[in-house]
Amino acid sequence: MTARRCPAAHFEDPTPCDGPPVVTVLDAQNAGADGCEHHGARLLASLEGGRVYALPDAPAGAAIRVFKAAAGIRPFPWMTEAPRTEPSQLSHAENRRAQLPVYGPTEPLGDEEHTPDVVVRVDFLMSREQITTALGIAWAEMAGDRDPESLTVREVRHEVEAYLSVQAFHELDAQMDRDRQRTFPPAQQAVMQLLADALERAYPPRRAPAAVQEPRYGEGTVTLTTLDRGEITIPEPEWCTGHEGQLVGPLAEVSHDGPHMTATVESQDVGPVPLIRANLTHAPYLVQQPEPHPLAYVEGLEAASFDAAGLRALVTAGRTYLDRLEAMADQLDDLAEEGPQ
């Protein structure tokens, strides 16, 4: 069942009305539609040169609310897949913002009591009156031994930014003091744990760069480092070319790789190109798609052009290679019969 919606609701817009029609939205040609505040704003945001008027019995401020809401809404907001890069695809507020000059950050701001773990960047959208007031407060707190004309550009920006950050840090300190003096009931502790998890996702700590394997080989074994099991010693198949230079990962990603077998052909335009390459491979600890036995990894042709002679050479190389692949298939059979090492 579809509830009847206001005339301003676009037929592709799935959202419901937020009340009765209270405004008329007119386009540049004075064609109009009455709408609820929600659809009025979405329609106004989608028009170029549109206007909004309150209907006679509308509650106070309806037109202003629709006008303000529309500024922050992207044109045709129900088209969620549409690209949003051109000015005509962005909201009026976003377009206005893109025109604003940007200054700072001058330098990172912190307080002395806390060791920083992350850098949090905030862009403040500020009016001239607001930055003037911020500098005025900072100036009043400076020792009176400075002449305003002696302030450098960098100092002025630092003072404005520092004023904003001092306010935030002061509020945080006060709250942290209050929190330390409280004991939280279990229900609230559970919520705080969930918040901590959300924070971990939003502000993950810097990851250590991936370590490189330094394998040690024994009698038919290799000792490797894994992220989840620490150091492990596992059977090392004879055909494995070794694990030097591989990145340390979880056990499941440990993979033995045989030597690369490549058919190279001479092409007209780019010279020698690998036609096909293959190697034995075995990731014995994969969980998702287990590999009980070794497999042949095969990678295909790179783009190149061939003349008739070149193409015949390619066919010859290909036939020889197919024989070698057949031999590799026999080898796979043998390895599977031997069973897991």
282 makes contact with Zn ion (CB under 5 A):
no
Decide: 210 and 248 in contact? Cβ < 8 Å.
yes
Of 75 and 294, the one with the shorter C-beta distance to Zn ion is 294
The answer to whether 58 contacts Zn ion (rule: CB under 5 A) is no
Q: Which of 36, 45, 66, 273 binds Zn ion (CB under 5 A)?
A: 36
State how far Cα 58 lies from the chain centre: 43
Residue listed under structure tokens 């080989």: 217
Rounded to the nearest whole angstrom, what is the least distance from the CB of residue 222 to Zn ion in the complex? Answer: 5
CA proximity to 119, closest of 206, 201, 209: 206
Neighbours of 202 (CB within 10 A): 8
Binding window for Zn ion (CB under 5 A); candidates: 25-33, 75-83, 233-241, 311-319: 233-241
Q: x/- contact string, 242-281, with Zn ion (CB under 5 A)?
A: --------------x-------------------------
Kindly state whether residue 65 participates in binding Zn ion, applying the rule CB under 5 A.
no
Which alpha helices (DSSP H) does 181-290 contain, by range? 186-202
Using the minimum distance from each CB to Zn ion, give the nearer residue, 176 or 211.
Answer: 211
Q: Write down the least CB distance from residue 188 to Zn ion, Å.
A: 39
What's the one-letter identity of residue 62? A
Please tell me whether residue 240 binds Zn ion under the rule CB under 5 A.
yes
Least CB distance from residue 63 to Zn ion, whole Å?
A: 15
Q: Which is nearer to Zn ion, 87 or 259 (CB)?
A: 259
Decide: is 9 part of the binding site for Zn ion (CB under 5 A): yes
- Shortest Cβ 209–Zn ion spacing (Å): 23
Give the N- to C-terminal CA distance of the chain in Å, as an integer.
Answer: 64
Q: Which of 100, 13, 80 is nearest to 35 (CA)?
A: 13
- Nearer to Zn ion (CB atom), residue 151 or residue 296: 296
- CA angle (285 as vertex; 280, 289 as ends), nearest 5: 80
- The structure tokens 């059977």 sit at 235
Tokens 């609230």: give the residue. Answer: 188
Give min distance, CB of 252 to Zn ion, in A.
Answer: 15
Secondary structure (DSSP) of 314-332: HHHHHHHHHHHHHHHHHHH
**13 versus 161: smaller Cβ distance to Zn ion:** 13
Alpha-carbon span 284 to 67, nearest angstrom: 63
Which residues contact Zn ion by CB under 5 A? 6, 9, 17, 36, 39, 236, 240, 256
